[in-house]
Amino acid sequence: MIEFHPAWPFLVAALAALVTRGWLRTLFMVAAPLVGGLQFLDMELGQTRELQVLGLTLVPYRADGLSYVFGLAFHVGALLSIVFALRVRDTLQHVTALLYVASGIGVLFAGDLLTLFLWWEVMGVSSAFLVFASRTPESYRAGFRYLVYQVLSGVLLMAGGGLLWIQTGSLAFEAMELGSAASWLILLAFGLKAGFPLLHAWIPDSYPNGTPTGSVFLCIFTTKAAIYALARGFPGTELLIYVGAVMTVFPVLYAIIENDLRRVLSYSIINQLGFMVVGIGIGTELSLNGTSAHAFAHIIYKALLFMSMGALLQQAGTAKASELGGLYRKMPWTTGFCIVGAASISAFPLFSGFVAKAMVMSALIKDGHLVVWLMLLFASAGVLEHSGIKIPYFGFFSRYGNPEAREAPPNMLFAMGLAAALCIAIGVWPVALYGLLPYEMVYSAYDATHVLTQLQLLLFASLAIVWMHRSGYYPAEIPSTNLDVDWVFRRPLPRAAKWSRNVLSAVRDRLADIWSAFLAGLGGGRVSNSLGQTWPIGSMALWVAILLATLLLFGLR
């Protein structure tokens, strides 16, 4: 059994980052995921630790199969992100990134809703500073919008947890059923951070405004912590099947027309989260294993893609498709690693995405959800287009521009190389990943039916994309602003609020004038609305008489 909470190495490293510099800070940062990861070698599952606080039973630590696989994935993601960011000389980013990772791990091992809420809020606040760290007017605005969403999620979680405690007398974070205001509020809190439809706009708004290194951290922890929370709290909730299906489809349309390649990857995150939400909604052991495996693989290949785009942004000064071209000659290693990430997210056989996504698709067929299966099949074809082809092609091979660039620094190449190696290793030897999953099972992704189905999908999707380019139906890569649901919060709602404020102000002024005229009539002269104005004694005596008469009337009833 471990001796301390898995989040403590990152908390210690965050404290050390405040007071150290140079190689010593680097040592603490790299040691945090390594020391934390070593705990997983002998972690005993099924263990909990309870704490009595003010009559409440809290469970600050609970280790089981679900928290284990997500926790291990978080440590791998943290190691990749930290190595990628080693050349950054920014205390703000170092401290907040380590706090962010620590709070994400705290969420995974929280056994009660109060502990979950505390880590949930730290995670939201600390991650906002990775957006602010770009120190541009756009990043400040995006960071504040991001913070609003994160705080709102925490408020909903606190309200739902409080109602649940009033109803049941327990704060245990266990599986629950929809049917009460408490469960709906908690589901909404989780869904907001998971990017549910209409609640998703903070992801493509904030992630591309983070620093080249900060966005790598952001793409890993918040949304995957929400997926874990959904898997813990709402497995088998049928509504999530349809919510997840919608999540897989609509981001494809945005990603196709988006010019900023980091925004493309942000929409791709929502698409991939949809597969995981579908698996949670099915709720079988196969589908929950599929969700866990997909989350594990997604953390690695999405980090790899964000690292390649971060390196591109840092070295070329832009990640806009309309300004890039020909960089495969100048950045050959980054190009190769990006292609590995693209193949993984597209679920090519022998890459990690193939062996992870297969379980959710198989669970859908076994559960009889043919229409949803077809929607996910369409979404898989879209993934090939926007992440499998668009990202590497427009990032490194197109001829839109010819920016000056050099190959990424060694630490960035090492982090990308490690991630690429893991993507291939998981795809070639999936048994290693399957052995980490929460439920025991015998499953083979490399059966003839699934391999042929996936290869056919990839082939016909590729042909469709080529035809769209040749025929001119594919949208051109041009600088543009694509309106998302957050347009409602940025434009109509503020204008409506301003109009309402003006109307209320006018009504208030009119009522004040009427009241002043009324008082003036009682006092026989004009009375100012100012609080400092002296009132006639006769008016005051009259109002006192009226007040006493009213009290007497109600007292006699």
Would you write out the chain's pLDDT as a tens digit for each of its 557 residues?
Answer: 445 789 999 999 999 999 998 899 999 999 999 999 998 888 888 888 988 888 788 899 999 999 999 999 999 999 999 999 999 999 999 999 999 999 999 999 999 999 999 999 999 999 999 999 999 999 999 999 999 999 999 999 999 999 999 999 889 999 999 989 999 999 999 999 999 999 999 999 999 999 999 999 999 999 999 999 999 999 999 999 999 999 999 999 888 888 899 999 999 999 999 999 999 999 999 999 999 999 999 999 999 999 999 999 999 988 888 888 889 999 999 999 999 999 999 999 999 999 999 899 999 999 889 999 999 999 998 898 888 888 998 889 887 777 788 999 999 999 999 999 999 999 999 999 999 999 988 888 898 888 998 898 888 888 888 887 778 777 776 776 777 777 777 778 778 878 888 888 888 888 888 888 877 776 544 444 444 455 555 555 555 656 665 655 554 44
∠ CA 297-264-302, nearest 5°, is: 15
Q: Is the Cβ–Cβ distance between 147 and 127 less than 8 Å?
A: no
pLDDT of residue 551: 54
Give 118-124's long-range contacts (Cβ < 8 A, gap of 24+): 119/7, 120/153, 120/154, 120/157, 120/189, 120/225, 121/150, 121/151, 121/154, 123/150, 123/221, 123/222, 123/225, 124/150, 124/151, 124/153, 124/154, 124/193, 124/222
CA distances from 219 to 156, 203, 270, 379 (A): 23, 9, 11, 20
Structure tokens at 144: 């504040």
- Taking Cα atoms as reference points, which of 355, 221, 345 lies closest to residue 272? 345
- Taking Cα atoms as reference points, which of 265, 149, 268 lies closest to residue 199? 149
Structure tokens at 121: 């809020």
What residue type is assigned to position 526 of the chain?
A: R
* Core vs surface per residue 361-373: b (16+ CB within 10 A) or e: bbbbeebebeebb
Question: How far apart, in whole angstroms, are the C-alpha atoms of residue 259 and residue 403?
Answer: 16
pLDDT of residue 492: 82
Question: How far apart, in whole angstroms, are the C-alpha atoms of residue 282 and residue 176?
Answer: 15
Q: Is the Cβ–Cβ distance between 244 and 278 less than 8 Å?
A: yes
pLDDT of residue 529: 47
Question: How far apart, in whole angstroms, are the C-alpha atoms of residue 502 and residue 515?
Answer: 20
How many CB atoms are located within 10 Å of the residue 50 CB? 12
pLDDT of residue 2: 47
Question: How far apart, in whole angstroms, are the C-alpha atoms of residue 488 and residue 494?
Answer: 9
Question: How far apart, in whole angstroms, are the C-alpha atoms of residue 176 and residue 184?
Answer: 10
How many CB atoms are located within 10 Å of the residue 342 CB? 26
pLDDT of residue 174: 93
